[in-house]
Structure 1
Amino acid sequence: MAAPHASLDGAWQTYRAAYQVLPTTEEARDRTFVILGTSHYGAPERFGLTRKTFVTPLGETRTAVPLVDELEQAAPGAVRMEDYCHAVEHSIEFQIVFLQHLYGPTVRVLPILCGPFVKSIYEGGMPEDSEPVARFFDALANISAREGNRLFWVLAIDMAHIGVRYGDAIRATANAGEMLAVEQRDRERIQQVNTGDIRNYWSLVQDRHDDLKWCGSSPLYTFMKTNPDARGTLLDYHQWQIDPHSVVSFGAIGFQ
């Protein structure tokens, strides 16, 4: 499933919609939760991993270190051990807390920070035209195929970032004015994700060099590339007025 990583006061309804699709405690007992999070601080065209555990007030997770090792060995050019980025990054941490609440503090996770695919967005082509990125996709796809239902995928993503706060000339108001057109474009992208049309999805991201500033385009692409048979359903869509002149959009998506 895909959930936001926005602040809880603005996104709680969307988090609720996303987390309702998770497996029961019994079904999740032996699963590893692969968390694909937006990397706000890591390098582009790179994937930030860590072997460290996550410690929260609820307790300490387990990290799927053998899978981390496998990815690093298979795609050394694309993998970075980004302990610092993980230490300050909120996109995965929010999901960790929710998973611990549901399944206990020692839930097993594979945390992956997905850097932006800047070269593809600004110069054209597909992200996998970069050989290191392609190697990472292949390695993660092999893990997905081999592990199957022993994995559950959590995408920690937000969508459009519009308004003065994000360098735009317009003063954005949620669900009004220019944000109505933004919602339409958001939904067009979501539709391509839900039908598994990765090329059309990415062409919409590349359009105008992603002027919507989707904070989640690379985790979504990574998931689609490594799970090509997945199909989604939009469970919730929301625009959050983060300040008087700026808006963030996000959604909840359930995948089968």
Structure 2
Amino acid sequence: MKFMRSTSPRPPRLAGLSYPNDPRQLAAQLDTWFNQALDNLPALSTTWRAALCPHIDFARGGAVYATVHRALNHLNQPSSTYLIYGVSHRVWCRHRFAATRRDFATPLGLVRTDQRFLDHLERVFGPELFVDADAHDPEWSIEFQAVWLQHLLGGRRDFTIVPILVGSFHDLMVRGVDPLEDPLVQRMVEAIVRAERDHDRPVFHLASVDFSHIGPEFGDPEPLRDHDLEQLRQFDRAMLDHLGRLDAHAWFAEAAAIKDRHRVCGLAATYTMTRILTRPDAARVAHARGPAPVYRQAVSHDRDCCVSFAGVLIPDAT
């Protein structure tokens, strides 16, 4: 059964809102952050297997975006297909995952979606992969990565993306089970591992995720104190340590232990990517320790909210 959806390019929904719609202004803004990122850049001789990058607005997260993208798109990075795990904030994905075959328009040019990879993926996961393709329309997490990739690679290197939105795993947390016990999660992990093995181009895994969300804006009762921010930092550091070991079970269990009180919006997407990277039959092996993450907390002036995020690079073990 085929699910018919629009085949026209997905427009840049946040252009003119979260970043400039004018190509020259946008390129100049991104270049400024790239120049600032030089001090944070790890050794460029490394080949990267995967990364976590924020999806917070560019104004607050620009320097971290730039640190990740500048490293992973260095000339030593062979990848030409970027599998982007986005977060479905607004739509409940009926099958937990939602892909789209639409290309992504940006003010800097068109980012092509890899149809051959999606063919491989659909053969294993099934056509349900596209049931919620419309969830990509209002979602920004993949759009933001497409903008940065197009800025760095557009016109310089042939590349494609595989856009996959990951829905909530909160029901699995309530039931007290590791997500890998869920048939849909199992099927997606298997599908991506097999699709990458069958694909004829190197694949890079990119989770477009933020971390914790706390404060009255997100439902907490009191304005944030320094103590709250320090406690959050300790929680996020524990999460990052699990990620540094590529321990997907501990990553999920750490948030489950406090019933996801800190609202880690990238919990499911990061879990899925990490499970794929650590499969013994994965196309390439990831190294469990990369450079130290670049961690930030974006706190509002009135202490009404804090969003934490990080840039994480995961090396190739080969």
1:31 aligns with 2:80: yes
Using the alignment, how far apart are the partners of 2:74 and 2:133 within structure 1? 31
Q: What letter corresponds to residue 113 of structure 2 in structure 1?
A: T
Tell me: CA distance 1:71–1:149, structure 2 relative to 1, closer, same or farther (3 Å).
Answer: closer
Task: Give the superposition deviation at 1:26.
Answer: 7.3
Q: State the Cα distance separating 1:25 from its structure 2 match.
A: 4.8
Distance 1:119 1:31, change over 3 A: same
Using the size of structure 1 for normalisation, the TM-score is 0.91
- Alignment partner of 1:195 is 2:245: yes
1: CA distance, partners of 2:241 / 2:196: 23
Aligned to 2:96: 46
Q: Given the superposition, is the C-alpha separation of residues 37 and 242 from structure 1 closer, same or farther in structure 2, using an over 3 Å criterion? A: farther
Per the alignment, residue 150 of structure 1 pairs with: 202
Amino acid at match of 1:159: F
Between stretches 118-127 and 47-56, larger displacement belongs to 118-127
2:224 is aligned to 172
Report runs of 4+ in structure 1 exceeding 4 Å deviation: 25-28, 145-149
Instruction: Compute the displacement of 1:198 (Å).
Output: 1.9
Which residue of the partner structure matches residue 175 of structure 2?
A: 123
2:133 maps to amino acid: D
Answer yes or no: is the 8 Å Cα contact 2:54–2:210 preserved in 1.
yes
1:246 matched to 2:305? The reply is yes
Question: Partners of 1:80 and 1:205 in 2: how far apart?
Answer: 29
User: What secondary structure is seen at the aligned counterpart in 2 of 1:63?
Assistant: coil
Task: Give how far 1:127 is off.
Answer: 1.1
Match of 2:140 in 1: 90
Q: Does the CA-based 8 Å contact 1:49-1:113 persist in structure 2?
A: yes
Question: Distance between the aligned counterparts of 1:101 and 1:138, measured in 2?
Answer: 32
- Partners in 2 of 1:242 and 1:98 — Cα distance? 25
**Alpha-carbon separation, structure 2, partners of 1:159 and 1:48:** 21
1:69-116 deviation per Cα after TM superposition (whole angstroms, max 9, x unaligned): 222231238623433221211101000000000000673100111111
Q: Which residue identity does 1:150 align to in structure 2?
A: P
Contact 1:34–1:152 (CA under 8 A) maintained in structure 2: yes
Is contact 1:5–1:90 with CA below 8 Å preserved after alignment?
Answer: yes
What 5-or-longer segments of structure 1 have no aligned partner?
Answer: none
Alignment of 1:205-244 (within 5 A): 205-228=255-278, 229-230=285-286, 231=288, 232-242=290-300, 244=302
Question: In the TM superposition, what is the alpha-carbon distance from 1:143 to its structure 2 partner?
Answer: 2.6
Alpha-carbon displacement from aligned partner over 1:9-54 (angstroms, at most 9, x marks no partner): 11122112212321335745x6101111111123255111001101
Q: What residue in structure 2 maps to residue 13 of structure 1? A: 63
| Preserved contact between residue 211 and residue 307 of structure 2 (Cα < 8 Å) | yes
Number of corresponding residues: 253
Pairwise CA distance, 1:152:
1.2
Distance across 2 between alignment mates of 1:179 and 1:57: 36
Identity within the alignment, %:
27
Gaps of 5+ in 2: 1-50, 279-284
Larger radius of gyration: 2
Distance 2:52 2:77 in 1: 19
Contact 1:77 1:132 (C-alpha < 8 Å) held by counterparts: no
Name the CA shift for 1:234/1:37 in 2 (closer, same or farther; >3 Å): farther
The structure, 1 or 2, with the larger RCO (C-alpha pairs under 8 Å, 6+ apart) is 1
| CA RMSD of superposed structures (Å) | 2.1
After TM superposition, the score normalised by the length of structure 2 is 0.74
Of 159, 165, 172 in structure 1, the residue corresponding to residue 211 of structure 2 is 159
> Could you tell me whether the CA contact under 8 Å between 2:185 and 2:272 is conserved in 1?
no
Counterpart residue type for residue 144 of structure 1: E
Deviation, structure 1 residue 213: 0.3
Give the number of the structure whose residues are more often strand, by fraction: 1
Whether the 8 Å contact between 1:120 and 1:206 is mirrored in structure 2 is: no
